[in-house]
Structures are given as C-alpha cells and as structure tokens.
Amino acid sequence: MNTVRVNLGSRSYDIVITPGDPAGIGPFVRSALRKASTALVVCDANTQAHGRTVEATLTAAGLRTGFATVPAGEPSKCMEQLAKLYDALYDLAADRSTAVVAVGGGVIGDLAGFAAASYNRGLPLVMVPTTSLSMVDSSVGGKTGINHPKGKNLIGAFHQPAGVWIDLSYLDTLPEREFLSGLAEVVKYGVILDAEFFAYLEANAAAVRARTPQALAHIVSRSCRLKADVVEKDEHETTGLRAILNYGHTFAHAFETCGGYGSLLHGEAVSIGMECAARLARKMELIGADFVARQTKLLQAIALPIVPPAQWPTDELIAVMRRDKKAVGGQMRFILPTQLGAVKLFDNVPEPLVRDVLESR
Ligand SMILES: NC(=O)c1ccc[n+]([C@@H]2O[C@H](COP(=O)([O-])OP(=O)(O)OC[C@H]3O[C@@H](n4cnc5c(N)ncnc54)[C@H](O)[C@@H]3O)[C@@H](O)[C@H]2O)c1
Ligand SMILES: O=C(O)C(=O)C[C@@H](O)[C@H](O)[C@H](O)COP(=O)(O)O
Ligand SMILES: [Zn+2]
C-alpha cells in the first residue's frame, strides 16, 4: 500500500493506492469522514458489482447506505442523470454529513462529484476510481461537472474529495480500449512535467500495456503525485499553472463535442489532441521534429489513435475551441510544449496554423 498526500490546508486528503483490498474502503471512509453516518454509493452499469462490494463494506463500517446506478458512458454527464442523483440523495434523507461515494470511471467521478458539490451546497465526496484514467487523473484535484450539449465540462465546480481509494485490482475487469484510453493522460504527465517519466514509459510500454503489477503501481502513484503537486500550487486554475494539465485538451474537447459525446473516449481524444498540439508547436518552431516523433512513437506503442476523424468540419472545431473554458474573449488558447517535460500557455496562436494542423488529416 502506498499513500499520496494532497496538501490543501483544511481540504487536504490522502490518495491510498493498494494492489487489492476490497474490504478496506469501509474503514477508509470511516477514518476520512468521522462524522458520516450515511453514504450514497454511485456507480454505472459496468461498475455495479464493485459498487455493491463497496456498499457492503460501508454497511459493515456502520454507515446507512443508498445506491444509485446511471447508464455507462460519457452521455451520462448530463442534467438528467444529475437530477436522478439529487432524487436519490433526497430519498436517502441526505444531510451535510452524508458522503457521496463515486465508484467508477471519470464519468461517475465527475457526475457524482458535481452532485456532491451542489446538493445541500456541498456534501463530502469519496472517490473510488475503477478505470486507469480515473486512477491517474480524474479522481484527484477536485474538478467535477457535466457536459453542455455544445461544450465539454462547461457546467461544474471545484470540490475536493475527502479521500481517494485506488484499488488496482479493479483494473482486472476493465476492457482493453478503456484501459489504453487512460494511458493518454499518463503520457501527458511525462510531456508536461517529467521527461524521466516519459522515458520510463518509452522503455516500459509493453509492461504497462500488459498491466504488470509493478508498472501499474508506478504509473498510478507517479501520475497522482505529479497532478497533486500542480493542484497544491494552483487549486482553482487561477495562476495559469493548473492549465498545463489541459495539454492536448483544447483539441480533445472539440473532438469529443463535435463527434458526439462518447464517440471517442476522452483519453483517445486527448491522444489525438496531444499529437495536434505537438504539430502546432512544431509549426510555431517551439520544438524540433524529434520531439513530435518521440511523442507519436510512444502514443502508437500504446495503440492510441493520433489522427482526427476526417468528417469533422474545421470551422465547427474552431468554433468549439473558441468557447473552451481557457478561451478569453473568444481567443483560442493552447498548452504547447517547449521541450520534453515543459509546456506553456499560448494565446494569439495564428488561426491558419491551427487550420493547417486540423486539415492535414
Ligand atoms: N475531473 C477531472 O479532473 C477529469 C480528468 C480527466 C478526465 N475526466 C473525465 O473523465 C471521463 C472519462 O473517464 P473514463 O475514461 O474513466 O470513462 P468512463 O467513466 O466512461 O469509464 C469507461 C468505461 O469503462 C467502464 N468501467 C469502469 N470501470 C470499470 C471496471 N473496473 N471494469 C469494467 N468496466 C469498467 C465504464 O462503465 C465505462 O463504460 C471524461 O468525461 C473526462 O472528461 C475528468
Ligand atoms: O485536472 C485538471 O485540471 C485537468 O485539466 C485534467 C484533465 O485531464 C481533465 O480532462 C479535465 O476535466 C479537463 O478540465 P477542463 O477544465 O478543461 O474541463
Ligand atoms: Zn483529461
């Protein structure tokens, strides 16, 4: 077992990473939330079995529980499913000591997290991530929210969890496509913050894809630490530092929105977005061709896509990028690499260069 501490003053919390301890979550919630007497477990159709195990350990730890299941997939990050969670909290007679326990991937974490952030103006939240993506990224840092039909994650709030319980054995049931998708965010950390970690991924891509216990433990704990370091310095994305976690995401969110939520998995969109961002940085002469080649090679070694589907009109993609949350006054903004392990926020990127990148598909 390994613990990563997120230091945020009164909102500090532990991320516990265990190779497999299904009974551990009840005592963990008890110790993270001493006053909790009830908990709503939220899962999706594919994480229901894990959710029921979590519920049993919460009951054994003395909590009264409710259980809510939403359909699996990105379209569930919507008002309709959010309203169902509010109903479930009402039916449970939730009060401010009721914990919301999100058992699932990033969709469940974001949706249940936003329900926790907003019901009764804030309930404690515990994240129990069950996908590679949610273990390395979405369960940490407090971004919660849902999609607007015209823009990804446009409705949301910052709401830090009280604790994150990462049981790597949940990955045993995760299908290959979903597992690989989460690795895009792992590559992201290497590019934006840690050239040594990037080199580790290059050297160990096969072990990571094979989900060897050592490789999983390393990529999850290193990713959580790197993300926690950023969040500790810029929790609410006010100084611009946290925006570096958005590398590849200006493109990615446009692909997800224009393609229809769920057509590409988030990590797949991020992979294509990072390829586009690297090519854009190359056109702006920020990096050399060797950087682009290395990143492309690693993404391909992980069997991630790098080419945007051709059918999405450039004008539509650009219009969506102008409404991205980082945009100011309709100006597109991009996080772009300046060397391996370092990125910067750029505005005033010439639109013809962005078009070039999108149109050389
Ligand atoms: N809040 C943040 O900081 C943050 C960071 C990154 C991504 N995100 C969001 O996360 C979402 C993507 O998360 P995701 O990739 O986890 O997708 P997801 O939650 O849709 O999960 C992927 C699929 O795997 C299934 N699944 C989950 N765990 C399983 C398991 N253990 N066994 C079998 N099946 C399982 C799910 O039912 C789903 O079908 C996107 O909405 C993205 O915007 C948020
Ligand atoms: O935690 C962050 O900050 C991130 O940017 C992490 C991203 O991987 C994640 O996809 C996030 O949800 C995107 O944030 P958004 O503010 O652009 O919606
Ligand atoms: Zn992301």
Query: How many C-beta atoms surround the C-beta of residue 56 within 10 A?
Result: 16
Rounded to the nearest integer, the mean pLDDT of the chain is 96
Task: Provide Rg for the chain, Cα atoms.
Answer: 20
Give the mean model confidence (pLDDT) for residues 225-244.
97
pLDDT over 80 at 301, yes or no: yes
pLDDT over 70 at 359, yes or no: yes
The fraction of the chain above a pLDDT of 70, given in percent, is 100
Nearest atom, ligand 1, residue 132 CA: 16
Domains located in the chain, CATH noted: 2-173 (3.40.50.1970), 177-359 (1.20.1090.10)
Active-site residues: which are they? 121, 143, 185, 227, 237, 242, 246, 249, 253, 266
Structure pTM?
A: 0.98
Among left, alpha and beta (phi > 0; psi -120 to 50; other), residue 315 is alpha
**In this structure, what token pair is assigned to residue 358?**
């999108």
Q: What is the pLDDT of residue 358?
A: 94
Which run of H or E residues covers position 279?
Answer: helix 266-283
Query: How many C-beta atoms surround the C-beta of residue 353 within 10 A?
Result: 16
Top mutation candidate among 185, 245, 255, 333 for ligand 2, by most atoms within 8 Å of CB: 245
pLDDT bin (cut points 50, 70, 90) of residue 312 is: confident
Closest among 224, 221, 228 to 242, alpha carbons compared:
228
CA–CA separation, 69 and 134 (whole Å) = 18
User: What are the CB-based long-range contacts (under 8 Å, 24+) for 78-83?
Assistant: 78/146, 78/147, 79/146, 81/111, 81/146, 82/111, 82/114, 82/115, 82/146
Binding residue per annotation — 185?
yes
Nearest atom, ligand 2, residue 230 CA: 3
Which run of H or E residues covers position 5?
Answer: strand 2-6
CA–CA separation, 50 and 135 (whole Å) = 15
pLDDT bin (cut points 50, 70, 90) of residue 157 is: very high
pLDDT over 70 at 149, yes or no: yes
pLDDT bin (cut points 50, 70, 90) of residue 361 is: low
The fraction of the chain above a pLDDT of 90, given in percent, is 94
Give the mean model confidence (pLDDT) for residues 285-291.
97
| Residue 181 Cβ contacting ligand 1 at under 6 Å | yes
Q: What is the pLDDT of residue 252?
A: 97
Closest among 40, 202, 4 to 112, alpha carbons compared:
40
| Distance from Cα 73 to the centre of ligand 1, integer Å | 8
Question: How do 163-167 and 13-18 pair as beta strands?
Answer: parallel
| Distance from Cα 131 to the centre of ligand 1, integer Å | 6
Q: What is the pLDDT of residue 17?
A: 98
3-class SS of residue 319: helix
pLDDT over 90 at 308, yes or no: no
pLDDT bin (cut points 50, 70, 90) of residue 241 is: very high
Q: What is the pLDDT of residues 85-132, one digit of tens each?
A: 999 999 999 999 999 999 999 999 999 999 999 999 999 999 999 999
Q: What is the pLDDT of residue 327?
A: 87
- The closest residue, in CA terms, to atom 14 on ligand 2 is 246
Q: Of the given ranges (135-139, 271-275, 308-312, 316-320), which has the lowest mean pLDDT? A: 308-312
Give the mean model confidence (pLDDT) for residues 179-189.
98
| Distance from Cα 267 to the centre of ligand 3, integer Å | 7
